[in-house]
Structure 1
Amino acid sequence: MKRIKSRKDIPWFDINNYDYIRNIDDIALLEEVIMRTCIYEHAGEGRIDKSGNSFIWSEILNGQPDTEQSFNNEPFDPKISQRSELKQQQLKVLSSNEAVNPVPCAMLDHYHSRLKEKENQQKLSAKDNEQEIIKFSYSDFMGDSSIICNIGLDNYTDDEILMALKHHLPLWRKDLNISEPKKRFIKPAEIEKIRDYRIIPFLDLMIWERDMDVTISKSVMATCVFPDGEIGEVDLANRNGKVNNLLDIILSEDFSVQKSTRNFDY
């Protein structure tokens, strides 16, 4: 594995590009962290290019780490835009995260293909079961751990929708035999540390390490993120250092930034 020993070997990184973090609120900050943890996981599996976040990562490498801005700038697939009479500014990418994600058009085609394949298998074994198949939920029928559902934004208030979700979530988990995962939620003090310790640029460098199969020396890492020496190589080299402690917490499997001890209105 190649070892990066010079700041010059990371030409895409500029800590000044991360100044926007000072001006975003806590919710937006946590969304930035969520995006990085997802891309970090994809990098570990060698599939950033095949993930839905590939454009976001390419924007980060092009000096645009503000993922909200990247969402707004994401181009259409040329093949789709040529077939569509709708102009680009008329279409929106809806707000989402890993827990709640409005199904994109491309995924509908994927779900349809999987469903037709499963239906054909079922019909071969039980031709008289065709009418029953259409009554089953996609999740149970396909053995999927995700729920695809409609949310009636025009007919129901936010409180009514939240009340319905609160009622149905435990029933869905029971029917699908999927227990609620145990999570260790982020604390308000840790949110402030994400800013103070510049965790987001650290995460971007760690993603790049995984994606490129390289190792950045601690001295170079410290120089990149803290060019004025506020946090140095010694802290980064210490597994119990304050930056590493927070990174370990954020990247642990049972950690969640979706909820904290502070009340957020999503």
Structure 2
Amino acid sequence: MDTVQIYKELQAWFDYDNYVDVESCTLKGLHKELQVRKNILDSIEFFGEGNDYFNQILAGNPLISKTIDLDTHLAESQTHIRQVTFGHIESLRRSLEMFSQESFVKGSNQLKKEVREKALTQSMRAVVMGTNESRVYTYFDLESSSDDEIIGSLRALLPMWRKEYGIKGRKQEAFGLGKILKLVDYRILPMIDLLLWAKLNDVSLSNTILSRVLYPKLTDEVRGDEQLKDTDRPIAERAMSGETCKNVESFINKNRHLMDVTLAMLKKL
């Protein structure tokens, strides 16, 4: 597809004016926007197609957080701690049945005593998932323990678990309010959508094209090719990978009082 054709295709769906209300999104809403786009990328990479949210974006309604209820979003989307479901347990048991029948008493579906008493994480790493599996399955009692006691136990156990399984922690970059606001100032959400469209259609978008499409008005303070190459595009690509979503989630977890504040108001802080 040549440059002229790319412009025609982009003009058929992309309009930067659809993104002008991004500053009215809350911090919680921004997290949802980033999560949605990571899921779209996964859909494109695994299935070769977008999803319903991407169809909504292409239809001119790119601010997904404006169209859904965000009350339970953060509770349901935490990256680092999630509740294990019965479906998850059933899946792990099926994996044991498939790959390690010696884990069961011969002629029955009962797990051997030594398997039942072994930590689930140890069993799954050794038998099914290999050394790349890094999830640790645990539980805590909300009623019999205070928040501080639970958090204190996690602090004590984490270094022990990391040593036991030989898993080092992910190095977290310094990430504060300034970097969050750059996502708005550098028009990262619309840039992500353009890059997702390009990936879906196997099209190469140059920084020149991105700059002209993202800054269409003569009154815009344009960020040009070099700024996109050195700063903006790498930020967008990192956001597509899911790293920025994790960082925003971590920032919100440390600053819960800000999660329902709009990006416009955060700019004034």
Task: Considering fraction of residues, name the structure with more strand.
Answer: 1
What is the deviation of 1:137? 2.7
1:183 to 160, 172, 183: 172
Q: Which protein is richer in helix relative to its size?
A: 2
Offset at residue 261 of structure 1 (A): 11
Letter in 1 for 2:163: K
RMSD: 4.2
Shift of the alpha carbon at 1:217?
Answer: 4.1
TM-score when normalising by structure 1? 0.67
Match for 1:140: what amino acid? Q
1:119/1:92 CA distance change after superposition, 3 Å: farther
- Answer whether contact 2:34 2:240 (CA < 8 A) is retained: no
Percent of paired sites with the same residue: 20
Letter in 2 for 1:60: I
**1:105-184 pair list within 5 angstroms:** 107-123=88-104, 130-143=112-125, 144-153=133-142, 156-184=145-173
> 1:145, 1:178 within 8 Å by CA — same for their partners in 2?
yes
For normalisation by structure 2, the TM-score amounts to: 0.67
- Alignment partners' CA distance in 2, 1:54 and 1:112: 31
1:132–1:47: structure 2 CA closer, same or farther, 3 Å change rule? same
Letter in 1 for 2:24: N
For residues 175-254 of structure 1, the aligned pairs below 5 Å read: 175-229=164-218, 230=220, 232=222, 234-235=224-225, 239-240=229-230, 242-244=231-233, 246-247=235-236, 250=239
CA contact 2:188–2:232 (8 Å) conserved in 1? yes
Structure 1 distance, partners of 2:167, 2:24, is: 39
- Structure 1 gaps of 5+ residues are 74-90
CA change 1:158–1:38 in 2 (3 A) is: farther
One-letter identity of the residue aligned with 1:163: G
Which residue number corresponds to residue 264 of structure 2? none
Computing the radius of gyration over CA atoms, which structure comes out larger, 1 or 2? Answer: 2
Q: 2:224 is matched by which residue type in structure 1?
A: V
Task: Give yes or no for contact 1:94–1:102 (8 Å, CA) kept in 2.
Answer: no
